[in-house]
Structure 1
Amino acid sequence: MNIENLPQGDVRLLDTPTAQRLLAAPLVARLAYMGKDATPRVIPVNFLWTGDELVIAAFAGTYKVRDLRARPDVAVCIDTADGPPQALMLRGRVTMTETDGVLPEYATMQRQGRAEEDANAYLETIDQPGLRMVRISLRPTWVGVVDFGEDRLPGRTPDPVREALSTAQ
């Protein structure tokens, strides 16, 4: 089967050019989960793709960590707003590991999003005795890719919309 023709939900979609581009881009992901009161939450998070899992870092004791421990099923969206829209959607169950000090993945995320001097100063400031962080990892069990520039549209996109988009490219 051609990887570009995989159905939504197939984890092999992680290997598509669109998914790889979004996983490597310096974008913010949106993490969706259920809060303590059983209502949905969506929050922006920095992330790091390791090749096998999406890693999100959190400080121990936050509401996000508490809520994810109680309900570890999540959805994540990484998308673009410029040009033809592209989106990578992931679902699955997170695992969490609490550690002392700054998580290596968190340090990498900070260095990707800031000037090196600023990132190092920030990391030195927070890396104090007693700092606890939580490594939140997601190995997706469901993957969806939407790429209006590559004609990978949502499954129920009406034919006139598909036709109009194909002639506009």
Structure 2
Amino acid sequence: MESYEVTEVLNRPLSQELLARDVARLAYVAKDGTPRNIPIIFAWNGSTIVMSTPKNAPKLHALSENPMVALTIDTEVHPPKILLVRGRAELDYVDGIPDEYLQATSTYEMTPEQRVGWETEVRSLYYDGMVRIVVTPTWAKLIDFETTLPSPVEELIRQREERQRA
């Protein structure tokens, strides 16, 4: 997929709504060769998807060996709205708490007092920093089940139309 095609998909209004959500599912290949798919908070900065994780997270070893990932960001309603993204993860070890981590959790419903307590806890837990997992999308597909469908379903519809014409 060409970069301008990825940009076109990601700039659609529905994609922007999905990219404003706070949880995605990150798929990657673990060190033992088996697939993993985990929920993780993220932030979209207009060009990359940024996730943060503890420095001792097992996924870091796997991603340093095989940085290719896939992400799914979707809704919980019918019909679902789904944004599929693929890319390469870059690991950025940082001191302190990444701004994107705090940004991604800003939508959580907390009172101001709860937010202060939560941030204090986070800062004490990750006192030696975190790792930013930065994914630049290289492929993207938006599925809304109204104007776009999964490719196999589109193919089945085409085949059905051909049968009906015959």
Match of 1:138 in 2: 135
Q: Which runs of 5+ in 1 are unaligned?
A: 1-5, 164-169
Match of 1:21 in 2: 17
Cα separation, 2, equivalents of 1:66 and 1:46: 19
Secondary structure of the residue that 1:68 maps to in structure 2? helix
Identity across aligned pairs (percent)?
36
- After superposition, residues 21-100 of structure 1 pair within 5 angstroms as 21-26=17-22, 28-100=23-95
Match of 1:109 in 2: 104
Q: Which runs of 4+ in 1 moved over 4 A?
A: none
CA-to-aligned-CA distance 1:22-52 (integer Å, 9 cap, x gap): 11134x2100001010111000011100011
Cα separation, 2, equivalents of 1:116 and 1:65: 33
Further displaced range: 34-43 or 113-122? 113-122
Q: Are the equivalent residues in 2 in contact too, given 1:111–1:120 (CA < 8 A)?
A: no
CA-to-aligned-CA distance 1:110-158 (integer Å, 9 cap, x gap): 2222315323211112313842200111110011111113x21122312
Cα separation, 1, equivalents of 2:103 and 2:40: 14
Match of 2:121 in 1: 125
Cα separation, 2, equivalents of 1:35 and 1:147: 30
Match of 1:156 in 2: 152
Match of 2:164 in 1: none
Query: Partner letter of residue 98 of structure 1?
Result: Y
- TM-score computed with the length of structure 2 as normaliser: 0.83
Secondary structure of the residue that 2:62 maps to in structure 1? helix
Q: State the superposition RMSD in angstroms.
A: 2.5
Q: Are the equivalent residues in 2 in contact too, given 1:13–1:19 (CA < 8 A)?
A: yes
Cα separation, 2, equivalents of 1:69 and 1:159: 41
